[in-house]
Structure 1
Amino acid sequence: MTIVIATFYKFVSLENLAERRQSLGEFCQKHDLKGTILLATEGINGTIAGSRENIDCVLAYLRSEPNFADLEHKESYSEVFPFERLKIKIKSEIVTFGISEVAPSQKVGTYVTPQEWNTIISDTEVVVIDTRNDYEVEIGSFKRANNPQTQSFREFPEYVAKNLDPQKHQKVAMFCTGGIRCEKASSYLLSQGFQEVFHLKGGILKYLEEIPAEESLWEGECFVFDERVTVKQGLEAGSYDLCYACGHPISELDKTSPYYEPIVSCPHCYDKLTPEKKARQLEKQRQRQQSLNK
């Protein structure tokens, strides 16, 4: 059976989060779905996997509510479940930014479709910014994109304060994996006085899905937050694996390093490895393997 992976988010004011969590959880479990859904007063953010029929049922269930009637989603496919279980969590934010005054449901930048994106980022007057974390940018990004070199999205406001000036940088275009981070970042930039702010609708994943390889300005692969690790043009499976010790994506070149030990460490975390942590990693992998064999 082909597994359908659906990713979605929407900034919208929500109430009764505990009740939503319970009813949505019951519905998803009834339809054998796995993945993660975050709920907050600012909206919903989720990636779920299941059969074609069950994914369609849950999306229809969500869209039956007026708040989510226009909920958009992106799809990819896998031969195995990319998640081990279902998790539905209540959070203070659906994407952690740390500034509660930012309200994308009220004000965001200009959405740019994948078909329009190349024109925007090819304009030399436009500052192009990758709003993802540093390790994601290392794997792949758009031509001309600036890397803020952040370790988490919380650091983005500091990057803006130090590197961008609304008087000097009058046109700014931003992107991220699925669109949620750059949408929130666009709301923040507008609140800081920036006038022309663009963000890629649907994110990198929508671009890779819709833009032919011969027209693409994307270079490398795109990190995704499930067991696929990375995807390429056309959303085909990428070439990276994941270090189980630190969660950093690892390339085939990383695996040739003397610091790479399967399950235990990689070149990105070997210097932080203690005997105790090594033992924990081995035990964690043993338990994971037992779970997969059941």
Structure 2
Amino acid sequence: MPLKVAAFYQFAALSDFRELREPLRSFAAGLGLKGSVLLAHEGINGTVAGGDASIDAFVGELQHGALFGGRLSNLELKFSTASEMPFRRLKVRLKKEIVALGDMAVDPTRQVGTYVEPSDWNELIAAPDTLVIDTRNVFEVAMGTFEGAVDPGIKSFGQFKEFAAQKLDPAKHKKIAMFCTGGIRCEKASAYLLAQGFDEVYHLKGGILRYLEGVPENESRWRGECFVFDERVALGHGLRQRRGNDGAQE
């Protein structure tokens, strides 16, 4: 029976994130889940896999349970399947950031760009005045990206600041649309660009995975495969697994 995989994140103020680690790990372990979850003062980011009922119980606790007290009610969530367990163990780790930009002044809980639904993405990126930027690393971009997207040539998300400083200009680039795997990197990048004086900044809600899940392949502007940080390696349209494990790691 296929396993259910839940990828999720939310920027939310979690001042007690250190105290949340062990109760969250214990709850997930009790459900037999495996995967990786990051906790930081700015929120939560993770992917876990297990049986349908276990995943549903875990997600329900995140969104509505006593552990987070309703602070994750706006959880960005995507489901997919795996023929085999894509994780070797369960990890719940404490971090300075749930996605490492390296600028602690950036706060997506206060200001982010405009969310764009996958159904509206094609029209936005086809507009001649839109600069489309892939916020992922060079390895991910090489596996697949959207038509016409700029590859920043970065090896880690923390290098996005350097790319922006060297290649982007608020006076020249009036309309920017960004995307990433699940939405978290482009959401934080949008907050960063707004703080740098860019006015019109958009990002793909739910990321590439939500787009591949909902946009028909014959209407898609996506080319290639989407790298994912587990042993499935890459997913295609409909979130179908396309490759076997080649040993790639996060």
TM-score for the superposition, normalised by structure 1: 0.82
Residue 147 in structure 1 maps to residue 151 in structure 2: yes
Q: Which residue of 1 aligns with 2:136?
A: 132
* Residue 80 (structure 1) shift: 0.9
Higher helix share: 1
SS in 2 for 1:194: coil
Contact 2:10 2:43 in 1 (8 A): yes
Contact 2:63 2:70 in 1 (8 A): yes
State the distance in 2 between where 1:129 and 1:206 align. Answer: 17
SS in 2 for 1:121: helix
Residue 87 in structure 1 maps to residue 91 in structure 2: yes
Residue 211 in structure 1 maps to residue 176 in structure 2: no
* Residue 135 (structure 1) shift: 0.7
SS in 2 for 1:118: helix
Q: Which residue of 2 aligns with 1:31?
A: 31
SS in 2 for 1:225: coil
Residue 15 in structure 1 maps to residue 25 in structure 2: no
Q: Which residue of 1 aligns with 2:41?
A: 41
State the distance in 2 between where 1:167 and 1:63 align. Answer: 41
State the distance in 2 between where 1:170 and 1:240 align. Answer: 41
Q: Which residue of 1 aligns with 2:82?
A: 78
State the distance in 1 between where 2:245 and 2:12 align. Answer: 35
SS in 2 for 1:53: helix
After superposition, what is the alpha-carbon deviation per residue over 1:53-95, rounded to whole angstroms, capped at 9, x for unaligned? Answer: 0001011111122201222310110121100110000000000
Matches within 5 A, 1:1-294: 1-64=1-64, 65-239=69-243, 241-243=245-247, 247=249
- Quick check: which has more Rg, 1 or 2? 1
How many residues in Structure 1 have an aligned counterpart in Structure 2? 246
The 1:217/1:69 distance shift into structure 2, 3 A limit, reads same
* Residue 17 (structure 1) shift: 1.9
Name stretches of at least 5 consecutive residues in structure 1 with no aligned partner. Answer: 249-294
State the distance in 1 between where 2:244 and 2:140 align. Answer: 12
State the distance in 2 between where 1:158 and 1:240 align. Answer: 34
* Residue 19 (structure 1) shift: 1.9
State the distance in 2 between where 1:87 and 1:187 align. Answer: 28
* Residue 112 (structure 1) shift: 0.2
State the distance in 1 between where 2:244 and 2:108 align. Answer: 33
After superposition, what is the alpha-carbon deviation per residue over 1:22-46, rounded to whole angstroms, capped at 9, x for unaligned? Answer: 1111110110000000000000001
SS in 1 for 2:133: strand
State the distance in 1 between where 2:217 and 2:17 align. Answer: 42
Tell me: higher relative CO, structure 1 or 2? Use CA pairs within 8 A at least 6 residues apart: 2
SS in 1 for 2:71: helix
SS in 1 for 2:141: helix
The runs of 4+ residues in structure 1 deviating greater than 4 Å are none
State the distance in 2 between where 1:181 and 1:66 align. Answer: 23
State the distance in 2 between where 1:160 and 1:219 align. Answer: 24
Contact 2:231 2:247 in 1 (8 A): no
SS in 2 for 1:67: coil
State the distance in 2 between where 1:15 and 1:125 align. Answer: 40
